[in-house]
Structure 1
């Protein structure tokens, strides 16, 4: 008489097991921090085919996972995005390719998305090759967004400022051989295009737009000041032309600027935002932030770059930070710690004042409702790929922006800038499973973003120790 009940029990257990769905990866028991939410939850994240399929308390109960990461007591944030990055680091030989190293370092520090803004090793063909290698697993790195080219004017930045004399000579030959009208594509010397008027700028924006650029970068400035303020500056008509053409492809136009007049020109002529904040020892106009917000203007400040030059030049021991030990080579530490480099980037009273004004400007802009997007200008001295983004976010907090809002600059705000908020940037069902698992709460101390337990990119845990970072 007991056989039937036992059979029914066995049938029930068997059916219950069969109802469990399969998953590639589950992260269990972590505090889940979404920058756009004021309420964090302890729960699970279920991942299949590189996407989050369920998230919340007990979410993993209905799944049999190939791999489980038990994250009790840990904290999960969305993977970070550096929206102003380059290859090269100002110390490698001019034609050397450090893209593999740069991509690996970004990923090591939890940057699961980067926006490359052109120049070194970043022309369209090079970017296509890297993306293909990333897709096939032959290269390890973040989601690679790109402009396809940095657009500037002949004789302006960076061509006549930071490019080497040897490279400038080669570029002069390209210009001489070009002849006639039309944009001058410098590939493969650099992912840079020279334009001389509004018509040429429109054509170049159309070219990169048809290719699939995620953004357009135009160099508006006549400086930077340390190179003299006497280089050709893009006219308002050129800025407006780039903005008009970019609208056809629904991509943002980002202006490289360094002074207030350049920012005003971009603000008044339809650009989406700037890829550097203004650094000035003079007070900024009282109404500037509100005018920027009214225009929907975005700021990628690269504030920690300006601050970092001062800090690293003043304190050589910063090159020995624990987080940098697996990354920096002896050669890098020797060069960046040299007396020549430290003397070149040392601060002075006016620079210190400019940094204070910058911090106040960003806080005021943010509190009034402005959009800040994190970017580092990696490729510059002391901007170590991946690590620099953590310093950038920390600068915002130091300036008075709440840690949660600072995290948003490198997650949700970044995704919205390029119209990809439905693809990545949050820990949400249907979005990419790009995650950063931390040992301590970044909302308690923003520097805890460096206490990385695991990096998950496209649903797979990254073997951080195997990344080619030197």
Structure 2
């Protein structure tokens, strides 16, 4: 009789509350959010997002999903806007072995500013960064997902430290062998001493091996030659502007033959821009899948070091004394500049404003624009974390819509890595890397600065946790500062 009664009660409960009986378990439930669909530049109000581990397992109407799922933690996103995690596609770690800990302290700054993935474009600590990549992936180190080029490929006795030197094709082959052993995410190739023909050889050989490439294009080559050889991303917007100069090939030939010096070549490469020439080049970029990382804010900062001292920047509290010292050579050079040199620097910035005007042309041609800051050591006052938000503001100032700018920092990086199946949208099966904003970034890109909560690899960091990250970095830097003054 007792067994029969229990069975009857169970049946009644199931009939009375079918939703309750069917509820599934999750780790996190984000409720009442307005989802930002970056791909289609629209918002979807009243949504819920269900997270298990590092994955999004369901997205839909809040009223429906709330009855189907229960979670250990619920995030009330009412009145707020949920976007995919941000990506900074051009950062640097370096300054030598003595600054390893100061560089490591930069990692939480990215997360605290909503950046859940970064692409390291090489510095002088390539082995350390490769180790961090693995440690972050297996949970031993806190930080954003880290993609890295490892050591860059250069010529013999280059300006930059931490490189793989190559003086001939065999040297390039050996460098690429090393990159593959290190399982780099892409190959960075620079041009301080690398012969132009070896630059092209490195691009083509890397492409044959299935490796993505980025780099600085030698002045003795045209951008089109690099594109034809197989470059995957062009770092810094000047090169994209250069592709719109009708005389680019003649200028490259004159420089290669020694008929003009670098200053003259640079001057000529900033004159005579032609929209039709540029659009033809940019359509070729798009056809070949070549992306462009503008890094605008760094150039702006350097142009005005004579008048903007940055001595009172609040973000200096997050930068260790050793890293601040790497800023010094540019700061000292600006302080000792003659009036003529200052005028020339400001003139270069005026030219750079013309360079930035190609952003809408790249967008129109279908080129993938990837947000990147150049933040890290050496690049004075270009701060990790907040720098990406400054960069996005410049994209809008120079002609992109807020939606287009947001795509540069959420979708275009994953697309370049072939990972749009995992990142760049809020949908079932995607990574649980999310940022909850106070305002709508499709209306004002400045809304990316107003972060309420970050979800990274399925773990929730609310505003208090993000502030604690920042406080932790400030405390470490304060201790290093005190030690440095003893």
Provide TM-score, normalisation by structure 1.
Answer: 0.80
- The CA distance in 2 between the partners of 1:241 and 1:209, in whole Å, is 17
Structure 1: distance between partners of 2:272 and 2:429 = 45
SS in 1 for 2:428: coil
Structure 1 32/102 Cα, relative in aligned 2: closer, same or farther at 3 Å?
A: same
Comparing 299-308 with 240-249, greater Cα deviation is found at: 240-249
The whole-number CA distance in structure 2 between the counterparts of 1:344 and 1:18 is 74
SS of the residue aligned with 1:371? coil
Report the alpha carbon displacement of residue 197 of structure 1 after superposing the two structures with TM.
Answer: 2.0
- Which of 274, 277, 282 is the matching residue for 2:234? 274
Hey, what's the Cα distance between the residues in 2 that align with 1:437 and 1:69? 10
Q: What does residue range 171-186 of structure 1 map to in structure 2 within 5 Å?
A: none
Question: d(CA) in 2 for partners of 1:313 and 1:449?
Answer: 30
1:304 is matched with 297
Q: Give the Å deviation of 1:261.
A: 4.4
1:365 Cα deviation after fit = 1.5
Query: Which residue of the other structure, out of 88, 105, 116, is the alignment partner of 1:101?
Result: 105
CA deviations 1:205-256 (Å, max 9, x no partner) are 2331343221111003x4xxxxxxxxx34323x2333233323443321022
Q: Aligned residue pairs: how many?
A: 419
Q: For the Cα contact (< 8 Å) 1:82–1:375, is it kept in 2?
A: yes
Cα distance in structure 1, aligned partners of 2:189 and 2:10: 73
Within-5 A mapping of 1:25-424: 25-42=28-45, 43-58=47-62, 59-88=65-94, 95-97=98-100, 98-123=102-127, 126-159=128-161, 190=162, 192-220=163-191, 222=192, 232-236=193-197, 238-257=198-217, 261=221, 263-278=223-238, 281-286=270-275, 287-295=277-285, 296=288, 297-310=290-303, 314-316=307-309, 319-320=312-313, 324=315, 327=318, 340=332, 343=335, 348-379=345-376, 380-424=379-423
Query: Match of 1:20?
Result: 23
In structure 2, C-alpha distance between the alignment counterparts of 1:459 and 1:277, rounded to whole Å: 35
Distance of 2:437 and 2:152 partners within structure 1: 35
**Which range is displaced more, 104-113 or 238-247?**
238-247
Q: RMSD in angstroms over aligned alpha carbons?
A: 3.0
CA contact (8 A) 1:83 1:373 kept: yes
Q: Which runs of 5+ in 1 are unaligned?
A: 160-189, 223-231
- Deviation track 1:40-61 (CA, whole Å, cap 9, x = no partner) reads 1011111112011111222343
Q: Describe the SS at the equivalent of 1:40.
A: strand
Alpha-carbon offset, residue 202 of structure 1: 2.9
- Structure 2 distance, partners of 1:259, 1:363, is 25
- The 1-side partners of 2:284 and 2:130 are apart by 37
Q: TM-score normalised to the size of structure 2?
A: 0.78
Question: Structure 2: where are the runs of 5+ without partners?
Answer: 240-268, 478-486
